[in-house]
Amino acid sequence: MILVAGGSGYIGSHVCKMLAKEGFDIIVYDNLSKGYESFARWGRFVLGDISDERQLDLVFSRFKIDAVMHFCASIEVGESVVDPEKYYINNVSNTLTLLKVMNRYNVKKFIFSSSAAVYGMPDKVPIEEEAPKKPINPYGWTKLMVEQILQDYDRAYNLKSICFRYFNAAGADPDGEIGEAHNPETHLIPLIIDAALGKRESIKIYGTDYDTKDGTCIRDYIHVNDLARAHILGLKMLLDGGKSDVFNLGSESGFSVREIIDIVKKVTEKDFKVIETERRPGDPAVLVAKSEKAKRILGWKIEYSIEEIIKTAWNWHQKL
Ligand code: UFG
């Protein structure tokens, strides 16, 4: 049985759908603070918070859990700067509670959602896993701290973990059952799609004076199902007795904000207003992953192009 903490959220729910397809038994453990109960369609659903040791105890004592996948986190970079307490409590302290209960029940396999935010402003792109870790906001620090905790837990308690450092997760389930719906939405692709749908008047480009080919920021967008597949491969590796490791998950190709806007216009055949405005604080000019390690060790590969990312997102948003 696999416990998926945060299985009702965007990435967690896509992983659950894939786990179910692969024949795994799943428990979705989620407080529904950001996720949706309608996304918990695979496996059993338990309403609970990872800070709630008693509730976790009930679940771990009732079910034989083989591994835990952990997708619960606060993810808004800007908010983490103004309210770091929320981030350190939710992302670090509550993760420690989950790990404590795992230890109590001798559950020793853990998959963790980390982030490219651990690298901060990279000196070199594409970014390798060994690149310096220099987070520039509390959100990035919380992810790096948990990575450190996991290294120490492996040494001390033999807890084996895989940390996946996501670049820009995007796209939706090709069957249109689940997709990306943050509230508030801050991510580029869903915001552009809302503009294409007429739900917002325009899309703003944050900064046109970066040192990039067209002056706008370049990011590495990766389809959520490509992310999900890496999680299944990582889980299987741990269940087969594999060792702890850390992997970047990105497509290894970068697209500028302007390019993404153009692709959305092309795929949706809609036009909308684009407003050029000042930079958003804390945005690195270019973030592109080197993902060779995940390919080599996990046998992972990218299946979705940027057009497919936009198409699947568009299909899902139209149904909302
Ligand atoms: N952007 C705009 N207009 C918008 C929204 C975003 O121009 O309305 C730009 C941003 O400035 C950035 C790019 O589009 O250059 C992508 O922005 P997102 O907010 O979609 O994603 P980020 O790259 O800022 O953040 C992602 C994850 C974070 C993670 C970070 C790692 O969403 O969780 O990568 O650096 F921390």
The per-residue pLDDT for 263 is 98
Q: Distance, CA 189 to ligand 1 centroid (Å)?
A: 9
Contacts of 182 (CB under 8 A, 6+ apart): 10, 34, 75, 190
Q: Which atom of ligand 1 is nearest to the CA of 280?
A: 11
Whether residue 204 contacts residue 42, with contact meaning beta carbons closer than 8 Å, is answered with no
Q: Distance, CA 187 to ligand 1 centroid (Å)?
A: 6
94-95-96 Cα angle (round to 5): 85
Q: How far apart are CA 65 and CA 222, in angstroms?
A: 30
Q: How far apart are CA 160 and CA 144, in angstroms?
A: 17
The per-residue pLDDT for 144 is 98
Among 96, 117, 312, CA closest to 225: 312
For residue 40, pLDDT beyond 90: yes
For residue 320, pLDDT beyond 90: no
The per-residue pLDDT for 92 is 98
Range of lowest pLDDT (99-108, 146-155, 169-178, 279-288)? 279-288
Q: How far apart are CA 183 and CA 181, in angstroms?
A: 7
The per-residue pLDDT for 182 is 87
Instruction: Write down the mean pLDDT value for the chain.
Output: 97
pLDDT tens digits, residue range 219-258?
999 999 999 999 999 999 999 999 999 999 999 999 999 9
Whether residue 289 contacts residue 253, with contact meaning beta carbons closer than 8 Å, is answered with no
Q: At what angle do helices 188-196 and 257-268 cross, to 10 degrees?
A: 40
Whether residue 224 contacts residue 14, with contact meaning beta carbons closer than 8 Å, is answered with yes
For residue 285, pLDDT beyond 90: yes
Q: Express as a percent the part of the chain with pLDDT over 90.
A: 97
Among the options 10, 87, 119, 139, which is catalytic?
Answer: 139
Q: Distance, CA 119 to ligand 1 centroid (Å)?
A: 15
3-class SS of residue 87: helix
Identify the band that residue 282 occupies on the pLDDT scale cut at 50, 70 and 90: confident
Q: Express as a percent the part of the chain with pLDDT over 70.
A: 100
Ligand 1: residue of 143, 193, 275, 280 to mutate (most ligand atoms within 8 A of CB) is: 280
**The dihedral of CA 176, 180, 184, 188: what is its sign?**
negative
Q: Is 221 a catalytic residue?
A: no
The per-residue pLDDT for 63 is 98
Residue closest by Cα to atom 36 of ligand 1: 117
For residue 126, pLDDT beyond 90: yes
Whether residue 234 contacts residue 166, with contact meaning beta carbons closer than 8 Å, is answered with no
The per-residue pLDDT for 8 is 98
pLDDT tens digits, residue range 185-217?
999 999 999 999 999 999 999 999 999 999 999
The per-residue pLDDT for 219 is 98
- Which pTM does this prediction carry? 0.97
Q: Which atom of ligand 1 is nearest to the CA of 140?
A: 36
For the segment 2-6, the average pLDDT, to the nearest whole number, is 98
For residue 19, pLDDT beyond 90: yes
Count of C-beta atoms within a 10 Å radius of residue 76: 17
Q: Which atom of ligand 1 is nearest to the CA of 279?
A: 11
For residue 183, pLDDT beyond 90: no
Q: How far apart are CA 282 and CA 83, in angstroms?
A: 16
The per-residue pLDDT for 121 is 94
For residue 131, pLDDT beyond 90: yes
